[in-house]
Amino acid sequence: MEVIALGCDHAAFQLKENIKDFLIELGYQIRDLGTSGPGSVDYPDFGIAVGEAVSRGDCDRGIVMCGTGIGISISANKVKGVRAAACSEPFSARLSREHNDANVLALGSRIVAPEYARIIVKEWLDAKFQEGRHLKRIRKISRYESGDTQWKQ
């Protein structure tokens, strides 16, 4: 079973605990990178930690959470090889896998209720990258990220 890295800030601590329980129920292995309580922290610390765990290959995919899902997705996306998608409904979560091969899902605890977050997570976990025409677009992102000046070719 896949290993899923989890990370959140204080705003999403309860949601992270909820999603962790859900993933364990589903049979996933978890790498919980914090935060570990409701005290105020900075979301980049956790978004980047999850991004690095995925980028290094220590974890297969990651799920990051903050108040909106925005700050922590921006942070995770700074890590090479990470494609983090902030989603607030299941359709975009599914398409983020099928079209964008998103390897990190970002959720906002102030945007989605916990039960709805579970639906989004399940949709995202079950969806597969479709490759085909989408592959060359993903490759352009990777080439740009690697400093290839010919990335559009």
What amino acid positions are annotated as catalytic residues? Answer: 66, 99
Segment interacting with ligand RB5, rule: CB under 6 A, options 65-73, 81-89, 97-105, 117-125: 65-73
Work out the angle at residue 1's Cα, subtended by the Cα atoms of residues 20 and 97, and round it to the nearest 5 degrees. 75
11 binds ligand RB5 (CB under 6 A): yes
- The token pair at 131 is 């490759």
Alpha carbon distance 53, 31 (integer Å) = 9
Distances in Å between the alpha carbon of 19 and those of 60, 80, 120, 142, 148? 17, 25, 11, 29, 38
Provide the mask over 13-52, with x wherever binding to ligand RB5 is found by CB under 6 A and - wherever it is not: ------------------------------x---------
Contacts of 69 (CB under 8 A, 6+ apart): 86, 87, 88, 106, 107, 108, 111
Alpha carbon distance 54, 99 (integer Å) = 19
* Sheet arrangement for strand 84-86: 29-32, 3-8, 61-66, 104-108, 84-86
Q: Which of 5, 7, 9, 121 binds ligand RB5 (CB under 6 A)?
A: 9
70 binds ligand RB5 (CB under 6 A): yes
112 binds ligand RB5 (CB under 6 A): no
Q: Which of 53, 71, 85, 97 binds ligand RB5 (CB under 6 A)?
A: 71
Closer CB to ligand RB5, residue 42 or residue 60? 42
Segment interacting with ligand RB5, rule: CB under 6 A, options 14-22, 63-71, 87-95, 119-127: 63-71
66 binds ligand RB5 (CB under 6 A): yes
Closer CB to ligand RB5, residue 68 or residue 103? 68
